[in-house]
Chains A and B, each alone.
Chain A
Amino acid sequence: MVGIEHRMPYFSSIDDEMLRRSRGRDLLGALPIWSAFGKNLVPYLAAPVTDINGIKVVLFIYWLKDKLDLPDDNPSQFRSVFKVLEGFFEYYLHHSEEYDCCFGIKALEVAEEFSVGGDDPRIVCNGLYQYYRGTCRRCKLLKDNWDVPESVAQIFSSPKLEKLPKLFKQWIGSKAKYIPVELLKKKDVSQCLKSLFLLPELDELLRKTLLGEDMHIKFAKGCGEILNDPEAEQLLTPCAFHSKLQENFGKGCNPIHSEITSKLNNIEKCEPFLVCVYECFEYMHSAGGSSIGALADGLGDFEKKLRNAAARFLYFENRSHSERSGGFIQLAKAVVSDDGNMESFMHALLNHHEVIMTGRRKMPSVCVESDKLAVHSEPAVQREVLVGNKTPSIWRNHYYFWTAGTIYNQLWR
């Protein structure tokens, strides 16, 4: 034993970096409903896909898989390698002058010496795997078994990249920690990586596949134009964005534009109700310990807004047959029925939440115990900015406009 090993006591300071508690995502399961309409316009892109470089990284890592000679009988080894490479590429993108990372900006900025590991649970090493690769497979840039198709393999076989597989193979071993900057210091690495993100053939392939058919590309173009409009700032509320799209595509009698307008109209019938339902849920979520009766009494003008939105949503009653939208149709019916009241609607909403969470094999975030709300996760917003307040409703599931527009602008810059 060396020296004396103890620490003198101290009075503790406030710790601002501590987090209260985590919360779940999409606690009412409305995402698939919006998604059903959104997919008509943006068929392949998942919501978090906002950077084509992330797509390129995913494709490259899958292509690299064969070059690294990983044993076929150990899928978890490839998963570890994927994490390390993902962390490496995020580091490269973040520190390059031209690009931004896709995930983990805080982790990349905070670290004095950024390192990654094969069992790294951080988003910086998992985000692309989790959020981007599904998009690649849906648009057939990856095969169903996650292999790269010939069209992609050919592009990565470019002489400009020929040194990369060898360099990565030398770097990847069985270390607990990998330090990206060490590999980047090696001769040729930076040059090869620069080429990787500037392959014109790859950009061309992405332009052909990532967004979908002509109609989808036209829609994405429309979104991209709004995003590029210097006057667009005031249009950047989802509702205004949607109206602007309706206005732009409603001009003239172009059949593709009419198709887009019709699909946009469905969104307009769906979204306001989902927004109201979420607002009401968050209202309860932020009111642990309260009784539902007391909360229902405090809803004020919200009931009128909810009824109007529910009536419009019921347009889908016989047009949509998925289980999830069926649940929301029932909620809408509960609102517009003659004997419907806010208290019974709120109970129905909590039941709906429980069904969703049970389906996910999770505990409900909000439930009723002896007439009082018990809350088991952090609410998204504080109570005062929710129902009853005059602030305009925020569309929650609007990201397709931005995703499609952003990706379009990157592909056709």
Chain B
Amino acid sequence: MSTEKDSKLKVRDTFDYMLSRFKDRSPELTLFSTFNFSASFFETNILPLFGGYSFENLKSSEVLPYSLNNSLKGRKIAVICDRSAHPEPKGNYRYGLLPVGLKNGRFHPKIMLMYGDLISDGKVDKKEKGLWLSVGSCNISFSGWARNREVIGCTRVVDKHRSELEILLRWMLKRAGFYSKSRSAAEEGETSIILNDLLDCLENNCPKDKPDSYPDLFLGLPEHKGGSLLSRMKGKHDYDKAIVVSPYWAGVSCLRRKLGARDTSFVPSIFSGGKHLFNCESKDLLKYKFLKFNFGNNENASEAERFTHAKVLWLEKKNGNYLCVGSANFTEAAMLGKSDSFSNVEMMLRYSVTSKKWSEQFTTLDVDRIATNTDASEGAPPLPPFEAEVLYDWDAKKFKYLIDCDPVFRKKLTLLVGGIEYKDLVRNGSLDFDAKKPIRSFVIKYPYKNTVEKYYGLVIQLGGDESDLGYKKKRRLDEMIDSLLKIDVESVGYDSFSDEIGDSSEEGHRDECKSFNFYVFFQAMYKLRLSQKKKCTAVDYSILNELYVAIDVEPQNELNRINKYVQLLELEETLSFFDGKLDGGDDPFRKRDDLKSELGKLEKEVVELVRGAPSLKGMFGKIGARSQCPKKIINWFKAELCFVQKDTLDVV
């Protein structure tokens, strides 16, 4: 490990190596797990690599979001992160993100698991599918992948890894249960499906030969039947020497006793202020032996001061040594994991190593370079005294939530989501909300030690389509009208209405002046109907769905409400024309109910606007304005609209 040749390897080299194990560098399924999650980092640096970018051009090329989403079609990528670590809400990119939590512990493993068609010796072996796994200490964040000194190893998944991975995947699936049970459609990124698929893949794609040649895999889980992570990694051997590398420490004397090595050294990480931090009373420092990384006589200051986030356990014995790497800090929560105390989920790989060279990269660390603390929190945010999950169901237009805690305490909570505060929460509730864009985060305010704490959570999206989730640019109404007006009615269909990716940024040339122009809209819709009339194949409703969204999201003021009403009426008319050409099956117009209810609301508003119009009062007097007259005017207008449009089409 960490030989001279390897000394420049970065975290992404492992990722790159794993991708290179698959045909076309395209695994079918990819699962990341992490404690901290920086969505912006992931979406800027890692996700593009699944969409055609290479490491070489990552920095030199601008990532175009809609193009990237287009390239990610068909890829199955999911990230599982800890919910208590304030994960950053994901952007509108095509992947799944599932925050999971423990009532009394942290979800801490940092793995990458990929499945797909494998290559061997540079050639595609069409018959072989398989999985690769990396286990490390690096969270998905800028620090984890680019700055800290982390540790990471990877292996093909073989039969002896199966059981631990199955336990972890099933554990994750159980956490995804709320979303699975609640859903009428798949959650964004289909995380549950990816987890289930990976479980299926493990069953048939893990070779059994030469198990001793692969590192062993250990899962730390409070309810793990095999015992604590430390006891299983250690096995039944006696060790002459142990070296522990960890940034965070807790319960060290107990852990050292359980480890039972004759000579144990500790490598605490350097923190800001230049001191190495260790968890014990100051007076007890001399009871321990400390080491630091040895950078030689020409010690590189920035390397020496770089934060070590790696977690390594070196175990030396006469007939061979173990090198354990992964996510587990040298704390009781990580190493001992009991269901009745604060315990984490962790993942470690154990390599059998004959050489002792690894242990020679350290030198003595003077005690006066060490600062002590007795805080075992590892700097992580406090665990909330409840479990909270929120999802947004695009079909039902509701937030659905689950808040699991004492009912009396629940009464003290406030949920903030979509800009609205909700009180009087129940365990399983739903809240009506008509989202125009994905709402990706929520906040729960709760009382904590005479103050109010905030818990930040992520909202899972259920059933949203590409446009709802922001994968595809929502076209502006003026752009759509422009395109429709260009339809060549002599040709069949509206092929000239091409589906541009739409990353354009030539905003400076957009016409800024909005006009109240029904003519062009009617003209555009007329051309659309005409193009459909000539079409022999089934009508395409996607443009109606898009038009509805484009009309719906136009900025709202009084004039625009009238505009919207007229446009939606016309859209409804076009919809009935489309329906006339429909041959049964599911309703292809997703927004039918929305259209109906929005028109109902708008009509009431427009009637009132007509009632208040000075010209109406001038013509019919105050009494006329108060009567059914405005309603009759609107009905007349609607009848005229239908008549004119039908008539025009028939003439053509």
Residues of A near any B CB (own CB < 8 A): 1-22, 25-26, 29, 31-36, 38-39, 46-47, 72-73, 75-76, 79, 104-107, 109-111, 117, 119-124, 126, 130-131, 134, 138, 144-145, 176, 321-325, 355, 358-359, 361-363, 369-370, 376-378
CB distance from A361 to the nearest CB of B (A): 5
Q: Is the CB of A322 within 8 A of B513?
A: yes
| A121–B495 CB distance below 8 A | no
In the bound complex, residues from chain A placing their C-beta under 8 Å from that of B43 are 21-22
Contact indicator B9/A18 (Cβ below 8 Å): no
* A55 CB to nearest B CB, Å: 14
- B64 x A15 contact (CB < 8 A): no
Q: Which B residues from 438 to 469 make CB contacts under 8 A with A?
A: 440, 443, 454
Is B70 a contact partner of A119 (Cβ separation < 8 A)?
yes
| 29 A/B residue pairs, CB under 8 Å, sorted by A | A1-B207, A2-B120, A3-B120, A5-B21, A5-B132, A6-B156, A11-B1, A11-B151, A12-B11, A12-B138, A13-B7, A14-B146, A21-B41, A21-B43, A21-B142, A29-B507, A32-B510, A34-B508, A46-B506, A73-B495, A76-B499, A104-B60, A110-B57, A123-B64, A124-B61, A323-B512, A323-B555, A361-B473, A363-B440
> In whole angstroms, how far apart are the Cα atoms of A18 and B10 in the complex?
10
Fill in one digit per residue for B173-216: 1 if any A CB lies within 8 Å of its CB, else 0.
Answer: 00000000000000000000000000000000001011001110
**Chain B residues whose C-beta falls within 8 Å of the C-beta of A117 in the assembled complex:** 52
The 5 closest A-B pairs by CB, nearest first: A106-B60, A9-B153, A322-B512, A21-B40, A35-B508
A6 contacts B155, CB within 8 Å? yes
Point out the residue from B6, B132, B142 that lies within 8 Å of A10, measured CB to CB.
B6
Interface size bracket, B side: 35 or more
A10 touches B9 (CB 8 A): yes
Please report which residues of chain B, range 102-149, place their CB below 8 angstroms from some CB of chain A when the two chains form the complex: 120-121, 128, 130, 132, 136, 138, 142, 145-149
Q: How far is the CA of A377 from the CA of B146 in the complex (A)?
A: 18
Contact B10 A13 (CB under 8 A): yes
Q: Which among B325, B496, B553 is the interface contact of A361 at CB below 8 angstroms?
A: B553
Please report the C-alpha to C-alpha distance between residue A346 and residue B38 in the assembled complex, in whole angstroms.
Answer: 28
Once A9-B152, A12-B150 are accepted as A-B contacts, the answer to whether A46 and B142 lie under 8 Å apart by CB is no
Assembled-state Cα–Cα distance A358/B351 (Å): 52
Using A10-B151, A18-B146 as known contacts, say yes or no to A75 and B495 having CB atoms under 8 A apart: yes
Partner among A11, A121, A362 whose Cβ is within 8 Å of the Cβ of B71: A121
> Which of B155, B306, B500, B512 is close to A324, meaning CB atoms less than 8 Å apart?
B512
Q: With the chains together, A35 CA to B507 CA distance in Å?
A: 9
B120 in contact with A107 (CB, 8 Å):
no
Once the chains are docked, how many angstroms separate the CA of A324 from the CA of B498?
A: 28
Contacts of B509 in A (CB 8 A): 35, 39, 46, 134, 138
Q: Is the Cβ of B45 less than 8 Å from the Cβ of A18?
A: yes
CA–CA, A78 and B443, complex, Å: 47
Q: A5-B132, A121-B63 are in contact. List 11 more A-B contacts (CB 8 A).
A: A5-B21, A17-B58, A19-B45, A72-B495, A75-B499, A106-B60, A110-B57, A121-B53, A123-B64, A124-B57, A369-B443
A22 and B1 contacting across the interface, CB-CB below 8 Å: no
CB–CB B149/A130 < 8 A: no
Residues from chain A with Cβ under 8 Å of B385 in the complex: none
Residues of B within 8 A of A10 (CB): 1-2, 6, 9, 151-153
Complex: chain B residue closest to A114, CB-CB = B57
> Contact string, B484-499, partner A, CB cutoff 8 A, digits 1/0?
0010100000011011
Given A4-B213, A13-B8, A22-B63, decide whether A361 and B470 contact each other with a Cβ distance below 8 A.
Answer: yes
Q: Are B61 and A20 in contact (CB under 8 A)?
A: no
B132: chain A residues at CB < 8 Å are 5
Q: Are B437 and A36 within 8 A (Cβ)? A: no
Residue in A closest to B51 when the chains form the complex, CB atoms: A121
A2 x B495 contact (CB < 8 A): no
Given A19, A363, A370, which contacts B44 in the complex, CB threshold below 8 Å?
A19
Taking the complex as formed, is B340 at the interface, i.e. its CB lies under 8 A from any CB of chain A? no
Cβ of B506: which chain A residues have Cβ within 8 Å of it?
Answer: 46, 130-131, 134
Q: Is B323 on the interface with A (CB-CB < 8 A)?
A: yes
Q: Within B34-48, which residues are at the interface with A (CB < 8 Å)? A: 38, 40-41, 43-45, 48
Closest to A121 in B: B67
